[in-house]
Chain A
Amino acid sequence: MAATAAGVFHTSYASELRLRHTSAERLRLVLVVAGLLTLPWLVNPYWLGIVNTIGIAAIGAVGLNILVGFTGQISLGQGGFLAVGAFTSGLLVQRAGLPVPLAMAAAVLVTAAVGAFFGLPALRLKGLYLAIATIASQEIIIFVVRRWGWLTGGQGFLDVDRLTLFGWRVPRTSFEFVWYWIIAGLAVLAVVTARNLFRTALGRSFMAVRDHDIAASAIGVDLTRTKLMAFAVSSGYVGLAGALTAHYTQTVTWERFTIDVSIQYLAMIIVGGLGSVAGAVYGAAFIMLLPPLLAELADALRTRVPLLADQLPAVQAAAFGLVIVLFLLFEPRGLDRIWRRVKDYVRFWPFRY
């Protein structure tokens, strides 16, 4: 028996390792699946497009959270790894004529390898120094992408054909609809594999390194292998997100992968909750929904508060920064912890704790 009225406790390792502990969680899973299945019929193509970008961001954020939230290695190189994934997949399809699924799989592997390479400084550096080293990897990757004319055929960006799967070209009219199923499927796969990763020895060794690396190595965790694996696994997810961006947006330019993108992804996992797979998804949704929702708000208040509409980009940027600051000041564990507190409140009612 796992759950009691006073909280979720475990009496055996098997029950602790289970993915879902309570019947409420199983019910919620059913609701989430039902929601995902009906969503594309409920929203118009504009919002479905936003949902698709959220899905791609969620895959990248889950990947980044494996590295930052679960292994404790700060990375500001997310944008660079996204670029590697996007260019690998785009080039393999456009120049080598590979089918898209194969090219995306290759992008995952290539990005994992590049990630492990740029994770090498992590073997010697920690915390602040590592963060600064990853800025260097970000800037170096983007510099290479910008200046290496061969990548884009000298035109500065790479055009990618509209998605063709097994000889079937996605029609323009139901573009977002088809992409929804691809992205939602891959995002669910990403979430499920990430959740299961932390039930394995490898995932647990990531967390041991985060909690105390010296203690972890004292109990037999190979630090070199674990840190490099964390960079590789995380970058693999990021590479998938990058490849999806390439085929979904049909253009690949370096401007999409600057350090601002790295910061945006870090903001997602901060807002969602460090060290939580679900939190990464919540955070991706929150950060990607913030600009369009602010745009709607500005539009609705256009007559009363014209400043909001005139200064929309600046307002969106300020809101982004404020969200990060406020979350860190008031709920550093993010949306995931807020959700958990809501559940506790309901479970303990009418008692406070």
Chain B
Amino acid sequence: MSQFVQLTVYGLANGAVLALAALGFVLIYKATSVINFAQGELLLVGAYLFYTAFVLLRLPFAVAVLVGVAAAAVLGVGIERVILRPLIGEDPIAVIMVTIGLAAVLKAVVTMFFGTTPREMPKVLPAGTATVAGATVPLDRLVAVAVAVVVLAAFTVFFRWSRHGVAMRAVADDQQAALVQGISVRRIFALAWAFAAVSALIAGLLLADIAELSQNLGTFGLVVFPVVILGGLDSVPGTIIGGAVIGLVSQYAEGMSAGASQVAPYVVLVLILLLRPYGLFGQPRIERV
């Protein structure tokens, strides 16, 4: 029982981080219909941006977070402007490949500046343990879940009620109709990439804190795919459910047989693709000829 609770907390913590990473992915897909293979690398770059501001430049925590968020937003907007905009209307494979190339460049740049050995980062989240239902669980995982829930809730509120949030949903729904309404689609595209980079930064920060700050953060990007397919490529609530489910499933699988967490998300992915390709909450696409 106590192992079950422990696995659940670990799974939810991983799932929360996954949901944050997936949120950025879904934002980009919804607004710009680009599949972003560089999401894991955005996470990596975000974590190192924060590390630079917090540890290397010795800024206070709050200022470091602000600097990191600003830098991530600028990076996101820059990527959209320079790399993705010229490819609007191209083949999906061209768009996929350009983000894969971008991922290679981002990862290489991080390696050039910080090397491949993990970096020491002072603990930001509380380090102690708590007892939940008879199981000892680390406090940092619980706080990570809380932070992710707050951020995801904030984004949900933003989409529902804020002016720009509504505009983003309009663009996602129908670009031409949004243009007719006087919404600047270009600005929305930039906004989507900025938000994606920022949510990736937060995810990277949490992950660096509960695991370690190293190159391996980037590999998290691949696990985003099972999450978004499960939740539906264009659904924000779907990412939360998807993240939680994938996080839990892989931890339970790991609990049953060590190492199984590497493959469990992909088995779920194949099952979902075969049974319900547009995910739990996604909109089925109807193709007209």
Give chain A's interface residues, CB within 8 Å of chain B: 68, 74, 121, 124-125, 127-129, 131-133, 135-137, 139-140, 143, 147, 214-215, 259, 263, 266-267, 270, 274, 311, 313-315, 317-318, 320-325, 328-329, 332
Instruction: Place the interface of chain B in its size category.
Output: 35 or more
Q: Known contacts A139-B262, A328-B101; is A318 also within 8 Å of B96 by CB?
A: no
Give B84-122 as 1s and 0s: 1 = Cβ < 8 Å from A's Cβ atoms.
Answer: 001100111110111011111111110110000000000
CB < 8 Å neighbour of A143 from B103, B104, B226, B263? B263
Which residues of B have CB within 8 Å of A311? 111-112
Judge whether B96 and A128 touch: CB under 8 Å. Answer: yes
Smallest CB-CB A-B distances: 10 pairs:
A321-B104, A324-B101, A318-B108, A321-B105, A317-B108, A143-B263, A314-B111, A325-B101, A136-B266, A127-B92
Judge whether B266 and A267 touch: CB under 8 Å. Answer: no
B130 at the interface (CB under 8 A from A): no
B205 at the interface (CB under 8 A from A): no
Judge whether A329 and B98 touch: CB under 8 Å. Answer: yes
Which residues of A have CB within 8 Å of B93? 68, 74, 131, 270, 274
Binds A, one of B57-65, B142-150, B268-276: B268-276
Distance in angstroms between the alpha carbons of A84 and B251 in the assembled complex: 28
Which residues of B have CB within 8 Å of A131? 35, 92-93, 96
- Within 244-289 of B, Cβ neighbours of A (below 8 Å) are at 259, 262-263, 266-267, 269-270, 273-274, 277, 287, 289
Judge whether B94 and A322 touch: CB under 8 Å. Answer: no
CB distance from B32 to the nearest CB of A (A): 13
Q: Known contacts A259-B222, A270-B97; is A129 also within 8 Å of B229 by CB?
A: yes
Which residues of A have CB within 8 Å of B107? 317, 321
Distance in angstroms between the alpha carbons of A140 and B267 in the assembled complex: 8
Judge whether A266 and B100 touch: CB under 8 Å. Answer: yes
B154 at the interface (CB under 8 A from A): no
Judge whether B277 and A129 touch: CB under 8 Å. Answer: yes
Distance in angstroms between the alpha carbons of A94 and B259 in the assembled complex: 28
CB distance from A261 to the nearest CB of B (A): 13
Apart from the given pairs A125-B273, A313-B111, A317-B104, 5 other A-B contacts in the complex at a CB distance below 8 Å: A74-B92, A128-B92, A133-B270, A139-B262, A266-B100
Which residues of A have CB within 8 Å of B289? 214-215
Give chain B's interface residues, CB within 8 Å of chain A: 35, 83, 86-87, 90-94, 96-98, 100-109, 111-112, 222, 225-226, 229, 233, 259, 262-263, 266-267, 269-270, 273-274, 277, 287, 289
CB < 8 Å neighbour of B225 from A124, A125, A132? A132
Judge whether B263 and A132 touch: CB under 8 Å. Answer: no
Distance in angstroms between the alpha carbons of A74 and B100 in the assembled complex: 13
Judge whether B94 and A332 touch: CB under 8 Å. Answer: yes
Closest chain B residue to A323 by CB distance? Answer: B101
Judge whether A324 and B90 touch: CB under 8 Å. Answer: no
Which residues of B have CB within 8 Å of A317? 104, 107-108, 111
Which residues of B have CB within 8 Å of A322? 101, 105
Judge whether A315 and B112 touch: CB under 8 Å. Answer: yes
Judge whether A128 and B35 touch: CB under 8 Å. Answer: yes
Which residues of B have CB within 8 Å of A329? 83, 86-87, 98
Closest chain B residue to A322 by CB distance? Answer: B105
Judge whether B274 and A124 touch: CB under 8 Å. Answer: yes
CB distance from A255 to the nearest CB of B (A): 14
Judge whether B108 and A315 touch: CB under 8 Å. Answer: yes
Closest chain B residue to A214 by CB distance? Answer: B289
Which residues of B have CB within 8 Å of A325? 83, 98, 101-102, 105
CB < 8 Å neighbour of B109 from A68, A127, A135, A318? A318
CB < 8 Å neighbour of A136 from B83, B269, B277? B269
Judge whether A321 and B94 touch: CB under 8 Å. Answer: no
Which residues of A have CB within 8 Å of B262? 139, 143
Judge whether A321 and B259 touch: CB under 8 Å. Answer: no
